Structure 1
């Protein structure tokens, strides 16, 4: 099975390291908020001073900002993408079907969960839901794909 969009299998370990370290760091940062930002650097901000209203907004401005949270988010995103889209050791038609079925299932399941949360969670708390929702399609896909692979291996033995 020739799939152009998949990375070589050797990247999967690096993806797991990024993904797990990002998840652990994210959970710790969420549960134990930092009083000061550990990594402050100057960055390009596309939109700044949004809380001041649209008339006071500044565009394309260099600001000093903490980037620890952004690095955690990027680790989760890129780690999840590398895990989800790296070839398996044996990449055949069945693996391709499992991958596609898992991806479709993850998207449908993600939006069903999101729809339920839209109904039951309101105001600023919903912003937390949206932050977590950046990762849930990848997380659901990775969990479902690996579950189906494990289930298939147990049936073969």
Structure 2
């Protein structure tokens, strides 16, 4: 059985080429206050540099820099491409590994989310939620590739 929704194998390299720079960008944005100047947005009165959460309109941003949004979108797209790209030798065992890794990633992410809900508050909780956006995909890609390399190494040893 071949999964129909997987991308061709050649997309995996494209996903890595998108995800790695986006991951580095997000680290700089979240920990170094990095921002691209050309992604600045301002509307109306720029004396107020804030998002108006109590405004009756949904889009009440006066000024913002969209570097973090761009980095997050590129990271998610890159990780999705990596996660859903077919292996060169896609078979039922790899499909099983893919499913097990996805279930494991969702379980671990849910446990981390529960722990964050119980133990973290205010700004720290919000910062953890920023990381949590990609945690499931990162865990899935890491575990799937680790399990796949272990399986291939064991198969190579068994062939000898």
> How much has 1:50 moved relative to structure 2?
3.7
Q: Residue 13 and residue 61 in structure 1: after superposition, are their counterparts in 2 closer, same or farther (change >3 A)?
A: same
Q: Deviations over 1:99-141 (max 9, x none)?
A: 0010001000111111122222111210011111100000000
TM superposition outliers: structure 1 runs of 4+ over 3 Å: 34-38, 59-65
RMSD, aligned CA: 2.3
Question: How far is 1:59 from its partner?
Answer: 3.9
- Alignment-derived partner of residue 110 in structure 1: 109
Change (3 A) 1:35 1:42: closer
Deviations 1:55-93 (CA, angstroms, capped at 9, x unpaired): x32246797642211110011100000000000001100
- Scaled by the length of structure 1, what TM-score is found? 0.85
Q: Which runs of 5+ in 1 are unaligned?
A: none
1:135 maps to 134
Mind listing any 5+ residue stretches in structure 2 that lack a counterpart? 44-49
Residues 15 and 81, structure 1, Cα contact 8 Å, conserved in 2: yes
- Greater strand proportion: 1
Aligned equivalents of 2:104 and 2:94: distance in 1? 15
| TM-score of the aligned structures, taking structure 2 as reference length | 0.84
Deviation at 1:41, TM superposition (A): 4.8
